[in-house]
Structure 1
Amino acid sequence: MKLVINIPDSLVGRIKQVVDDEGYENPQEFVTTAIENQLELEESDVEGFKTLDEAVAELDAGAPETSDEPGLDLDDVGTDGLSQREYHTVPTVTPPDEDRLPTGPLWGQYNKIFPTKLVVRRLANVIQEQNEDKTSTPQDDIQWIDLDQFRKQTGELARNYGLQIKKYDKEQSRGRGEKLSAGLPTGEDTEKSVGRFQTHFVGRPKQDGSLAGAAPSLLFIDITNEDVGRIGITEAGLTFAKLYNPLLDMGPDADEPLSADERDSYMDHVRENLPAEHEAMVTAANAIADGRDRPDELTDRIAQLSWSWSESKANTIRSGIVSRMHELGLLERERVGQRGIAYSLTKTGEELVSGRDAEVTDR
């Protein structure tokens, strides 16, 4: 079916720039992907979805770096509530049931790992605080806390600290794909930006009882399906929360979003507990090793993981996989000519190709 739509002049140049920079074959592929993403958000009952204008604005390299919160002194914003602690009073909960989670690799919109790290670190800290502030016997330890309150406060904290990280992104002239604030709610519209962060990275129960969000999809947290929802941290989530993180434990001027221990722990967890995500990463690594290192070629290889995926869905999944692999230090992006992008594996990424990453873990 062919549809003719009117696109504001202000968007045309920005769409063209994104098509050139992000490896879309043509504007039609970009628009089709944007529509499919929007439909999935609408049909999945996910809050905080973005309009096409907002999606383009987030990808636009020339988007303003300003905040709409007057009087916010970024130099005074710290990591209160996010810093590393000794975790003696944080009881864990069991992971979500499989039938409450989507199958396949992580959704492409969960394109960064650091925002999930922020979520589980704060959840561990809040649970510990609540247990330390009460007098109880061990069996009375608090495992679950109020979901709505946690989402609200964590969204605000991520917003404020994200803006500070974004300031250093600008000072360091980090380009698209390199910004450490990516995935945090730093958009100009505070309410919508925070809402997307809460949905994409904290998570929430949907009307059918299933769960949306990176943290539950990674089995780091569970959320009850009740009128008053509650959230708890799993053993895997607590393990990840405990690890040192450069941005949370050193400061917003850190040079990397994850520590070496975090990258190793995350890879071990994915390999052991999320086979579809691990298979997708291995598939991407093998494709790059075979010379299929351009976005459209990589999408074709990723699409073979499920014949039910449309081209635009495979493109979205590929985009998320590549972004997470880059954050994990498994691949690098490089310019090809004036407009193209190609991927190359790092030494660590090469270990995925023949399964040597599993051999390292087994020793």
Structure 2
Amino acid sequence: MPLLAINLSDTLFEQVKVLVEKGLYKSFESFIEIAAFNQLAMERGATPAEIVERGHRKIKDFAVNNGMHAAEKSKPPPDPVAKVSRTATVRSVVEPVARMAVPDEARVTEADYEAAFKRFALAPWTAGPKPLAPVADKLSQEQVFGQVNRLLPLKLACRWLANAAAVEGNWPRYEVISDKLADDAATIGTLLERWDSENERKRDELLSTGLPRRGNSGSRDRFLSQFLARVTRGGEIYPAAVCQFQLARFDASAIALTEQGLSFSQLKNPILDLQDKKSTTTLAPEESAFLAEQILEWVPAERKDMQIVLKAVMGGTKTPSELTEAIRGRFPPEWSDSVVQTHTSGLVARLSELRLLRRVWQGRNVTYELGEMNQVNTFLRSETEERS
């Protein structure tokens, strides 16, 4: 096995060190390993889960009922670059997409912030195109990738798409608007990072997490590939989280909001609409409740995983290590410890944003407790109703 030595800045090293010490990653090696798989997923136009399936030391076929597609053993192994796992959701663009190089702009002016907020502003939906109905496709049946650790990016995507469609009178082609959307999201992300610094927020309190930054093209690519879609050099589009949550769908190369995505876009948001730099949450209570209901109805794998975590905490699990140990057996045995930790961390982050789980810090140590009990009971009640 090749042995690599890398140089990290002091700041980056300390940030990774904190995550490892909290038990969110087994070691520095596991953190770098996960980062490598994540980058390969973007480069190859494949799903992160598939890269893990190919590349980890324990390589076995993942079962379909675990949200992964098993390979057909009777066929020869496909080209690792060409193979895709979400064939049911891939959409071919008429022509290969040539992504335009967008210049990095580290310095953002107040006029930039104002212009971006205008494109995210809440506007009445009067003469826009008809939204699509949600569908129970294969993508919505898959487990949400652990790196999708915030839900505010879904809000930004829905609001931006709604406003763009209202202006143009039709749903936009993804390859036409992706850079513009990412640029506006990066502007908001840069501003929220400044607000985080001014308010001395701790890591789990940061408003800017999950959003790209101006002057960082890699963060823009990650934002698009994790929340909107990945595009291969051949022009194929692989929908990401906004479609997995059935808030949007692709119609050929156009990306359209679903009925629920449009409704979500019209809810008021403390960041986009109030521009409240003192806000402690990125979603309003109505938005969190809306997404929780959306998950219950349309994202079964996410619903199941979230219920597993909530039941573990309800049963007395308090710390990250205890939670990982309690739920490890509920995930595919082929998953490495690093993948389980990443998946669990993503679930905890999303549950927190939904107000279903709370993280309580004592120094550098964190414990978990249930969030708003009415919503928790509603979320868990659906599991009981399914069994009855």
Q: 1:35-55: per-residue Cα shift (whole Å, max 9, x none)?
A: 4434444454479xxxxxxxx
Partner secondary structure for residue 205 of structure 2: coil
The correspondence of residues 1-363 of structure 1 with structure 2, limited to 5 A, is 3-8=2-7, 10=9, 13-21=14-22, 23-45=24-46, 68-70=105-107, 72-73=109-110, 77=114, 79-90=117-128, 91-95=130-134, 98-99=137-138, 101=139, 103-131=141-169, 142=170, 144-186=171-213, 189-204=215-230, 211-225=238-252, 229-253=253-277, 255=279, 256-300=281-325, 301-302=327-328, 304-335=330-361, 339-348=364-373, 351-352=376-377, 355-356=380-381
CA change 1:346–1:74 in 2 (3 A) is farther
State the 1:104 CA deviation. 2.9
Is the 1:303–1:314 contact (alpha carbons within 8 Å) kept by the matching residues of 2? Answer: no
Is the 1:74–1:164 contact (alpha carbons within 8 Å) kept by the matching residues of 2? Answer: no
Question: 2: CA distance between counterparts of 1:235 and 1:116?
Answer: 15
Is the 2:26–2:337 contact (alpha carbons within 8 Å) kept by the matching residues of 1? Answer: no
Question: 1: CA distance between counterparts of 2:374 and 2:39?
Answer: 32
TM-score by length of 2: 0.73
Is the 1:23–1:340 contact (alpha carbons within 8 Å) kept by the matching residues of 2? Answer: no
Is the 1:245–1:257 contact (alpha carbons within 8 Å) kept by the matching residues of 2? Answer: yes
Partner secondary structure for residue 358 of structure 2: strand
Amino acid at match of 1:175: K
Amino acid at match of 1:199: S
| Structure 2 residue ranges without an equivalent (≥5) | 49-103
CA change 1:22–1:326 in 2 (3 A) is farther
The residue that corresponds to 2:95 in the other structure is none
Is the 2:140–2:245 contact (alpha carbons within 8 Å) kept by the matching residues of 1? Answer: no
Question: 2: CA distance between counterparts of 1:68 and 1:85?
Answer: 28
Question: 2: CA distance between counterparts of 1:352 and 1:208?
Answer: 44
TM-score by length of 1: 0.78
Amino acid at match of 1:77: E
Is the 1:201–1:213 contact (alpha carbons within 8 Å) kept by the matching residues of 2? Answer: yes
CA RMSD between the two structures: 3.1
Question: 2: CA distance between counterparts of 1:359 and 1:86?
Answer: 39
Is the 2:248–2:255 contact (alpha carbons within 8 Å) kept by the matching residues of 1? Answer: yes
**Aligned length in residues:** 323
Q: 1:223-248: per-residue Cα shift (whole Å, max 9, x none)?
A: 244xxx21111111111111111111
Question: 2: CA distance between counterparts of 1:33 and 1:72?
Answer: 35
Partner secondary structure for residue 355 of structure 1: helix
CA change 1:74–1:127 in 2 (3 A) is closer
Is the 2:131–2:258 contact (alpha carbons within 8 Å) kept by the matching residues of 1? Answer: yes
CA change 1:164–1:129 in 2 (3 A) is same
CA change 1:250–1:303 in 2 (3 A) is farther
CA change 1:293–1:275 in 2 (3 A) is same
Instruction: Give percent identity, aligned residues only.
Output: 26
State the 1:114 CA deviation. 0.7
Is the 1:220–1:238 contact (alpha carbons within 8 Å) kept by the matching residues of 2? Answer: yes
